[in-house]
Structure 1
């Protein structure tokens, strides 16, 4: 059911928050992420084959572990966003955002009237109608986070316009695809990529929208903290598990 969005509350209080992208379609790993001390999880529907029931179980696991479940959808699809939110997601992450129109469409899909056009439902986020549905609608509009990912040259160029849409809860960088957009694939530390990230951060600061960084190399986390950034995604659990497996095997030899 819809509860207080802990990620949202911590960001508003200026507290540091840490999240992971969940790429393994299993509720167990989400529960592990929560008990490992993370604040939020981004369940990935963009790069992962995953069925709706599994998404709902992963959201339920996040609730049990008391971390905020966000879901990354492949695109702004009103019907898919509706099902994800009706499953209990507390936020929607949209990849490859390049225009204000995409964000306006997201607001319309994810928010109830009078802000948007999300279809009314009294399912599990509303505790199946146990309380006032009028209050639920208001709370849902207040607590659902809308998060654009900026992953292209065009997105960087239009960042101020994108972030001018009311109701955005955080902006997430996407340096990997951004590097490809700039013609330097996987070179996330290239000067042109770092300049793009800085432009997004500066625009987010101007718009007073929390910026979420993804530290990839030693020193990047500290550098962002010194710039006043409080939100971080520390990769995905699949990559972390793979490196841990490699290290475990190597340490025996």
Structure 2
């Protein structure tokens, strides 16, 4: 092979590698690897005390130990149950209330006042009151999870239904559809993207509130373990639990993105 042909191939290979690295997903993961490497090197070079900032390798060992012998898997399951059980309640009630508000002037006039008062209120401030009313068991956790999600779902349901094309509603009435049929076959399908936007917002708030409530009262759950590890200065365990929460956030976000893409295709079809 001639020297010229070798020279022609080298830029192509180099360009291919650079193009692969510049691909958005690979670039995102590469940035994570570089951050962890820099973090590990900084802790090693500065000889930092693990109490203040543990190295990623130490956090990984703590994470494996917690899953293997520390019951972190059980805590994760408990936290997920609390989040999604309360979240499911919020979806059912939020969509139902939103439909009622969007289709009834009287209901909207009454509910708007309460939503305007309660939605901006930091839900975490309700924890002491809910403990007095419900104790620290399951009902309390489900309530705090549902409260975090219900208001965004209600608001987005109302918004989505009210933005429905009036011509579709008139056409359904011309076809002698009753109110229930109009809601189920016209208004609700039209509002699904908006409802899903509210669900996305609400789920994030539910996760935050459940973990915060577990830190206050929970003996089990990720929040309770996070608080206990901090109390005894087990910084590696604190970071390990935070990593689990971060991974949970990534997984939930990616699933929501896939559902969002599916909804987009569904609307086009």
Output the TM-score relative to the length of structure 1. Answer: 0.25
Larger Cα-atom Rg: 2
**Relative to total residues, which structure has the larger strand share, 1 or 2?**
1
Greater helix fraction, Structure 1 or Structure 2: 2
